[in-house]
Amino acid sequence: MRYISTRGEAPALGFEDVLLTGLATDGGLYVPESLPHFSLEEIRSWRGLSYSELAFNVMHPFVDDAIPADDFRKMLDETYAVFSHQAVAPLVQLDSNEWVMELFRGPTLAFKDFALQLLGRLLDYVLEKRKQHVVIMGATSGDTGSAAIEGCRRCEHVDIFILHPHERVSEVQRRQMTTVKGDNIHNIAVRGNFDDCQRMVKESFGNQGFLGGKTQLAAVNSINWARIMAQIVYYFQASLALGGPDRSMAFSVPTGNFGDIFAGYLAKKMGLPISQLVIATNRNDILHRFMSGNQYEQHQLEHTLSPSMDIMVSSNFERLLFDLHGRDGQAVKTLLENAAKGPVSIEDYRWKHARKLFDSDAVDDKGTCDTIREIQEQNEYLLDPHTAIGVRAARNCRRDSSVPMITLGTAHPAKFPDAIAESGVSVRPQLPAHMADLFEREERYTVLDNNIAGVQEFITKHWKNA
Per residue, the 3-state secondary structure of the chain, as one string, reads CCEEECCCCCCCECHHHHHHHCCCCCCCCEEECCCCCCCHHHHHCCCCCCHHHHHHHHHHHHHHHHCCHHHHHHHHHHHHHCCCCCCCCCEEEEECCEEEEECCCCCCCECCHHHHHHHHHHHHHHHHHHCCCEEEEEECCCHHHHHHHHHHCCCCCEEEEEEEECCCCCHHHHHHHHCCCCCCEEEEEECCCHHHHHHHHHHHHHCHHHHCCCCEEECCCCCCHHHHHHHHHHHHHHHHHCCCCCCCEEEEEECCCCHHHHHHHHHHHCCCCEEEEEEEECCCCHHHHHHHHCCECCCCCCCCCCHHHCCCCCCCHHHHHHHHCCCCHHHHHHHHHHHCCCCECCCHHHHHHHHCCEEEEECCHHHHHHHHHHHHHHHCCCCCHHHHHHHHHHHHHCCCCCCCEEEEECECHHHCHHHHHHHCCCCCCCCCHHHCCHHHCCCCCEEECCCHHHHHHHHHHHCCCC
Active site residues: 112
